[in-house]
Structure 1
Amino acid sequence: MRQPPSNTIALEAIKAWKITAWIYMAVLWLVTIGLIVCSLVWEISWWFPGVLFIISGLGTYLSVYLFPVLRWKRWRYEVFEQEIYIQHGILIVSRTLIPMIRVQHVDTKQGPILKKYKLASVTISTAATTHEIPALLEEDASELRDRISALARVDEDDV
């Protein structure tokens, strides 16, 4: 069996993922608080808001505190001359090999949260799908994009 890839993503990815999770969880908490207030005003049964409160608390713990750390520990990638090897997943670990000959184009992208931590993601497009290596340092993402682009170029004689 092949050894796992050796390159990791930036440690700041954990902070960026935690902020993103807080944004999503804030919406869930607003709904939860709204249902609790409605149950107080209209004297509706407490079971549904109570269950949603427990789910919101558990969801917040998992998505904000546990999953970003586990996700960072599992994310690995490596670029070889003939292929790109990506490993990711929390419970189910997925290992993907992308042949260089199948790479159509490579992009970097950066949202406001990644920009705050000077991170960028590299997306690798093939005819079938798009693969992403998330949350690399900006300089590393640019170098990786250029390296994959150079390795993916095929001379007309090779086709």
Structure 2
Amino acid sequence: MRQPPVNTIATDAIKAWKITAWIYVGILWLATVGLIVLTYIFELSYWLTFTAVVVSGLSTYLFVFLFPKLRWKRWRYEVFDQEIYIQHGILIVSRTLVPMIRVQHVDTQQGPILKKYQLASVTISTAATTHEIPALLDEDASELRDRISALARVDEDDV
């Protein structure tokens, strides 16, 4: 069996993922507060409100505190001359090999949260799908993009 990839993503990825999770969980908590208000006004069942609070609390714990750390621990990648090896997943670990000959283009992406921590994601596009290596340091992402692009170039003699 093949060894797992050795390269990890930046540790600030945990912070960026937590901020993103807080945004989504905040929307969930706003809906929960709205349900509490509606329960009070229209005298609805308190079980529905209780369930919404429990679901919101559990979601906050899982998506803000637990999953970002686990996600960071599992994310690995490695670039070889002939392929890119990507491993990710929390409960189900996915290992993907992307042949260099199939790479059509490579991009770096950076949203406002990643920019705050000077991170960027590298996306690798093939004819079938797009693969992403998230939350690398800016310099590392640029170097990786350029390296993959150089390795993916095919001479006419190779075709």
Interval of TM-score (by shorter of Structure 1 and Structure 2): over 0.9
Please report how far the alpha carbon of residue 109 of structure 1 lies from its aligned counterpart in structure 2 after TM superposition: 0.2
**Structure 1 stretches lacking a partner, 5+ long:** none
Give, in whole Å, the separation in 1 of the partners of 2:82 and 2:151. 8
Q: Which residue of 1 aligns with 2:84?
A: 84
Amino acid at match of 1:124: I
Two-structure CA RMSD over aligned residues (Å): 0.4
Q: Which residue of 1 aligns with 2:105?
A: 105
Amino acid at match of 2:69: V
Confirm or deny that 1:34 pairs with 2:44: no
Q: How does 1:39-78 map to 2 (within 5 A)?
A: 39-78=39-78
Query: Could you state the TM-score of these two structures normalised by the residue count of structure 2?
Result: 0.99
Residue aligned with 1:157, SS = helix
Give, in whole Å, the separation in 1 of the partners of 2:81 and 2:158. 15
Q: Percent identity?
A: 80
Moved over 2 A (4+): none
1:62-116 Cα distance to aligned partner (Å, 9 max, x none) = 0000000000000000000000000000000000000000000000000000000
**Structure 2 stretches lacking a partner, 5+ long:** none
1:3-38 Cα distance to aligned partner (Å, 9 max, x none) = 000000000000000000000000000000000111
Moved more, 99-108 or 34-43: 34-43
Please report how far the alpha carbon of residue 42 of structure 1 lies from its aligned counterpart in structure 2 after TM superposition: 1.3
Amino acid at match of 1:157: D
Q: Which residue of 1 aligns with 2:155?
A: 155
Residue aligned with 1:134, SS = strand
Q: Which residue of 2 aligns with 1:139?
A: 139
Query: Could you state the TM-score of these two structures normalised by the residue count of structure 1?
Result: 0.99
